[in-house]
Structure formats: structure tokens, C-alpha cells
């Protein structure tokens, strides 16, 4: 489909793809790497949740440990990204490759060397790295000793880690994100995944999660300040899972509920990281939930001095809320909601809503007026390999195309948009279910939910389509 309306994305628009070490890197115990929180999570399915195993179970399959072995395939994979014309590639550094237990004083040289090689390879292929410092993993050693981000001590370990990577890669990496989907800590699901926090069954984890979130805010702000001191050209962003939430009706109760969801799930984190202070609505929420954030003298100044340069977010779907508790519920990314009769859903029940991306881009930009980047958007689907080896993923092309069209609309609305990195540009392990079957990629990887497969990479139909999107700078969709 050719877009002839005269619209043009900026010439330096950052087209690319996104991944995370815990879901694609593998090599979990190679060259001095320690165990990450994600290495302790079992596989699951759409209906069976992943388990967290506080000690290693010999017979259990842990999908992140080998993942798709980017560790052993990075040259081949980056070459494919280069062939698609990626301008940028979002990846994360695995903290435990650099500090295996999290509290060492010196970094692991072999781990540092690996990312040197990866960045060199990206640069050789004209791809700008966009690096998440912590994406749903932290050293499991910090969970064992401190219950993860519950402890304020973890801030210092994180800053030491940031200092090591900022100094080492200061001439190779310009774009950084401090924490993936930091707002995942606002929901119970995020305790271990985003905070490395173990909670007891049926425990109300509100206090622990919001205290951990405060520690991550401080850590992020310190990292931003430090990064700018190490290289003033660094651009350091926040990363929010934008949980776009519609009211089910014009009933004022529904409207207020949707507003409150937007405030707590999305804006709280954006406000602290972009503006440098807690929004006033947080006070009432904390009070009503019995949450008491322990702050230290100087925290407010730290937050003020560590505001991010840009705002990045993930967007997969939208949700609906209602004050009526008898309506049909559906699943979603991080948060579910009420069924939206106007939308279709993915194989995993996420409600597909391209226009919601335009709304979201406008909503965020209206509030902050700093550059935005969509660092995750994509379709988790079951792909079929035909007898001739081809994979005709037209549903994925449709999904991505429809969202790009809405990005165009948002840019026309006046939103400052720096780029778009499609999530899971190469098939990888699903964060929520641990499955391989939930595939997102333009590149297929021969591996199944149980770890069987030869890991061979092959190009899906969407690979060629996206290559042309980038080549035409979004003109040919
Ligand atoms: C985002 C996460 O919430 O959603 C990714 O940042 C994750 O890590 C992605 O993979 C898609 O979710 P899932 O559960 O389908 O992998």
C-alpha cells in the first residue's frame, strides 16, 4: 500500500526493532555471568502462569537461560537487522553479565567485552544502539540478600553498574533507557519481574512494590545525572508500559475510574521521571492503600536533578474499565479489563487498537512536550511454517501497518516522535508466559516451548515488508 498523502517522517526517524537480554540473549552462565531473576522463572502457557523458583530445580526447563542464543548468534542476527535497514536496535544489557551477583566492586571484563563486540557489530552495520539498562532482570543475588529493589542498598549497586557501562560504552552508545516499563511495579504482577521482589502467596505487596519503585526512581535519576556527566551527548529516557484505558460509558463513575487508572498506572511514573517530582494525586492513592514511602533527606533534589531527556513507551493494546463489576473481562498486557466490542483481539486475547496509539501519543505529548519514541509495539501470534519454509504473516504486517498509520496521524497532530522499534523483531521468549509459540518476529527462530529446535533463523513475509517500509521512510506501507 502506498501512502500518497504527502506525509513524511523525519529523515533521521529511528526505525528499528526491540529485544531484551532476558528474553533472547541466552548464555546464562557463560563467561562469568551470574543468575538473573529471569533465569529463575520457569516456562508457562497462556493459562498456566510461570513459576519463580527460589532455588534451581534440576529437572525444570527455564526458557530464558538459552533463549534464542543471541550470545552465540549475534553477528548473524545483526546482519539480518542490517539487511532490513534498521536505523536503531533496542537491546538490553544483562546486569549479571557485568556484575554477576550485583554487589561486586569490579565489573566482569568478559561481560563488558561481549557488549563491546555487539555494539561494534551494530555500528559496522550502521545501526544505532538503544540500550535498556535493566529490562525485567536483576542479579538474583540481590533478591537473595536484599529482596531486590525493596532495599535502598540496591540503588548504589545499580549506579555502580551504570557507571561501569556508561564509561565503557560512552563512545558507542548514545541512547539509554534506565528501566524497562518501570510502572510495572504499580501492579502485583510486577513484583518479581520488575523489582526482583519475592512475595508470599496472598501477601498484599503494595508497600513493598511502591517502596521499590521509589528506589528505582532515585536510581534512575542518579543514573541520568551521572550519564550526562560522563558524556553530555547522552540521551537518557524513561520507559513506561502505556496502559491506555477507556471508560466503558459516559457514566461519570466510569470516566473517573479511567482517569484514576491513567494517573496511577501511567502518569505517576512519567511525572516523576520527566518532571522530577511526585504528582499530587499520588498522596491520596498512597493514603488510601496504606502505603508509606520512606524517603531520605535529599531525595526530592535527586529526582529534580535527574529528569529524563525523552519519553519512551510500549503500546500493544488498550483496555476498558467500568464501575459495573458484572461485565465480561478480557486479558491484556500487564492489566486486563472489560471487553471492547469495537476491537478484535490477538491470539492471546490482547485487544488490538491502532487508533489508541494516536490517542496515547497525543495524551503523553500534551502532558510533557518532550520527544517520544515507541520502543515496543507488535503482535504475538502463532506462525505457521509452510512446506516450502515460507511464513506468511500477513496478520503481523496488518498490525504494524495500522499502528504506523496512526503514528503518522499523531505526528500530523503535532507530536514530536523520534522513532519506532517493533517489539520482538526476532522471535524470542514471551515475558508473560515464557512461551516461544507467542511469536513477534520479522525473523523466525526454530525453537519451541520446550526448547526443541535447531535455532535456525529464517525470514518471514513481514521481513521484506518492513525492509521496504524503512527504505521508503514509511511512505510505502
Ligand atoms: C512488554 C515487555 O510489556 O511486553 C516485554 O517490555 C514483553 O518484555 C512484551 O515481551 C510482550 O509481552 P509478552 O508477554 O507477550 O512477551
Q: Which atom of ligand 1 is nearest to the CA of 20?
A: 8
Task: Tell me the average pLDDT across 103-123.
Answer: 98
The predicted model scores a pTM of 0.97
| 76, 95, 142, 161, 418 from 101: Cα distances, Å | 30, 9, 7, 11, 35
Q: Catalytic: which of 25, 66, 137, 376? A: 376
Local confidence band at 334 (pLDDT 50, 70, 90 cut-offs) = confident
Distance from residue 7's CA to the centre of ligand 1 (Å) = 31
CA 431 to centroid of ligand 1, rounded, Å: 5
Residue 219 lies in a domain: yes
Q: Is the pLDDT confidence value at 4 over 70?
A: no
pLDDT digit string, tens, across residues 420-477: 999 999 999 999 999 999 999 999 999 999 999 999 999 999 999 999 999 999 999 9
Query: In the numeric block, which cell numbers belong to residue 86?
Result: 534498521
pLDDT score for 6: 74
Total count of domains within the chain:
1
108: CATH? 3.20.20.80
Q: Within a domain: residue 240? A: yes
Measured distance CA(224)–CA(368) in Å, rounded = 17
**332: confidence class by pLDDT, cuts 50, 70, 90:** confident
In a domain, 4, yes or no: no
203 given a catalytic annotation: no
DSSP for 100-115 reads SSS--SS--HHHHHHH
In percent, how much of the chain has pLDDT > 70?
A: 99
Using DSSP's 3-state secondary structure scheme, residue 242 falls into coil
Q: Could you tell me if 93 and 13 are in contact, meaning their C-beta atoms sit under 8 angstroms apart?
A: no
Residue nearest ligand 1's atom 5 by CA: 431
Nearest CA to ligand 1 atom 12: 431
**Is there an atom of ligand 1 within 6 Å of 314 CB?**
yes
Rounded Cα–Cα distance for residues 29 and 62 (Å) = 13
| Domain-embedded: residue 354 | yes
Instruction: Please give the Cα distance from 420 to 407 (Å, whole number).
Output: 9
> Which distant-in-sequence residues (6+ apart) come within 8 Å of 385 by Cβ?
391, 444, 458
Closest-CA residue, ligand 1 atom 15, reads 430
**SS3 call for 367:** helix
Above 90 in pLDDT, residue 330? no
User: 181: CA distance to ligand 1 center in Å?
Assistant: 10
The 10 Å Cβ neighbour count of residue 182 is: 27
| CB-ligand 1 contact for 376 (6 Å cutoff) | yes
Kind plus residue range of the DSSP H or E element containing 342: none
Pocket test for ligand 1, best of 21, 192, 423, 429 (most atoms within 8 A of CB): 423
Looking at the domain assignment, is residue 8 inside a domain?
A: no
Place of cell 482517569: 259
pLDDT band with cut points at 50, 70 and 90 for residue 331 = confident
Q: Would you say the C-alpha torsion 308, 374, 13, 439 has a positive or negative sign?
A: positive
CB of 36 closer than 8 Å to CB of 140:
yes
330-345: average pLDDT = 88
The pLDDT of residue 1 is 58
Residue 201: partners with Cβ closer than 8 Å, 6 or more residues away: none
In a domain, 321, yes or no: yes
**Cell numbers for 129:** 544502539
Q: Which residue is closest in CA terms to ligand 1's atom 7?
A: 431
Is residue 175 within 8 A of residue 127, CB to CB? The reply is: no
CB 461 within 8 Å of CB 385: no
Percentage of the chain exceeding pLDDT 90: 93
**Count of CB atoms situated within 10 Å of the CB of 416:** 16
Distance in angstroms (rounded) separating the CA atoms of residues 475 and 468: 9
CB of 190 shorter than 6 A to ligand 1? no
Residues 31 and 110: beta-carbon distance below 8 Å: yes
**Does 476 map to a domain?**
no
How far away, in angstroms, is 15 Cα from ligand 1 center? 19
pLDDT single digits (tens) 283-306? 999 999 999 999 999 999 999 999
β-strands 318-321, 310-314 pairing: unpaired
Which domain covers residue 319, as residue numbers?
Answer: 14-471
The string of DSSP letters for 43-74 reads: ---SSS---B-SS--TT---HHHHTT-HHHHH
Pairing mode, strands 329-330 and 337-338: antiparallel
Amino acid at each position: 500500500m502506498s501512502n500518497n498523502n504527502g506525509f513524511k517522517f523525519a529523515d533521521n526517524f529511528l526505525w528499528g526493532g526491540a529485544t531484551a537480554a532476558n528474553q533472547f540473549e541466552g548464555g546464562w552462565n557463560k563467561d562469568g555471568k551470574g543468575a538473573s531473576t529471569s533465569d529463575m522463572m520457569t516456562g508457562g502457557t497462556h493459562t498456566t502462569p510461570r513459576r519463580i523458583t527460589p532455588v534451581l530445580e534440576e529437572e525444570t526447563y527455564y526458557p530464558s537461560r538459552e533463549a534464542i542464543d543471541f550470545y552465540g548468534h549475534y553477528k548473524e542476527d545483526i546482519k539480518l537487522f542490517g539487511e532490513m535497514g534498521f536505523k536503531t536496535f533496542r537491546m538490553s544489557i544483562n546486569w549479571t553479565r557485568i556484575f554477576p551477583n550485583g554487589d561486586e566492586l569490579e565489573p566482569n571484563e568478559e561481560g563488558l567485552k561481549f557488549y563491546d563486540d555487539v555494539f561494534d557489530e551494530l555500528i559496522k552495520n550502521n545501526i544505532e544502539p538503544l540500550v535498556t539498562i535493566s529490562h525485567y532482570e536483576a542479579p538474583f543475588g540481590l533478591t537473595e540478600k536484599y529482596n531486590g529493589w525493596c532495599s535502598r542498598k540496591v540503588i548504589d549497586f545499580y549506579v555502580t553498574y551504570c557507571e561501569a557501562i556508561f564509561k565503557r560504552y560512552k563512545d558507542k552508545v548514545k541512547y539509554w533507557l534506565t528501566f524497562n516499563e518501570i510502572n510495572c511495579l504499580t501492579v502485583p504482577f510486577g513484583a518479581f519481574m520488575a523489582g526482583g521482589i519475592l512475595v508470599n502467596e496472598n501477601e498484599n505487596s503494595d508497600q513493598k512494590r511502591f517502596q521499590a519503585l521509589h528506589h528505582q526512581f532515585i536510581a534512575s535519576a542518579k543514573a541520568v545525572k551521572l550519564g550526562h556527566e560522563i558524556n553530555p551527548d547522552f540521551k537518557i529516557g524513561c520507559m513506561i508500559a502505556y496502559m491506555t484505558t477507556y471508560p466503558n460509558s459516559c457514566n461519570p463513575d466510569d470516566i473517573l475510574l479511567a482517569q484514576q487508572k491513567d494517573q496511577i498506572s501511567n502518569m505517576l511514573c512519567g511525572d516523576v521521571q520527566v518532571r522530577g517530582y511526585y504528582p499530587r494525586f499520588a498522596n491520596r492513592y498512597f493514603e488510601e492503600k496504606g502505603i508509606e514511602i520512606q524517603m531520605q533527606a535529599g531525595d526530592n533534589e535527586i529526582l529534580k536533578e535527574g529528569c529524563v531527556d525523552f519519553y519512551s513507551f510500549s503500546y500493544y493494546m488498550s483496555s476498558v474499565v467500568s464501575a459495573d463489576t458484572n461485565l465480561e473481562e478480557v486479558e491484556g498486557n500487564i492489566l486486563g479489563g472489560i471487553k471492547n466490542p469495537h476491537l478484535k483481539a490477538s491470539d492471546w486475547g490482547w485487544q488490538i487498537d491502532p487508533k489508541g496509539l494516536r490517542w496515547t501519543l497525543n495524551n503523553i505529548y500534551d502532558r510533557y512536550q518532550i520527544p517520544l519514541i515507541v520502543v515496543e509495539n507488535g503482535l504475538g501470534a502463532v506462525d505457521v511454517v509452510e512446506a516450502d519454509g515460507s511464513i506468511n504473516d500477513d496478520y503481523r504486517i496488518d498490525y504494524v501497518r495500522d499502528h504506523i498509520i496512526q503514528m503518522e496521524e499523531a505526528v500530523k497532530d503535532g507530536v514530536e516522535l523520534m522513532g519506532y522499534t517493533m517489539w520482538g523483531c526476532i522471535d524470542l521468549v514471551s515475558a508473560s508466559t515464557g512461551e516461544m509459540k507467542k511469536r513477534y518476529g520479522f525473523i523466525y527462530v526454530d525453537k519451541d516451548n520446550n526448547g526443541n529446535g535447531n535455532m535456525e533463523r529464517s525470514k518471514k513475509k513481514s521481513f521484506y515488508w518492513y525492509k521496504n517500509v524503512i527504505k521508503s521512510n514509511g511512505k510505502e506501507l
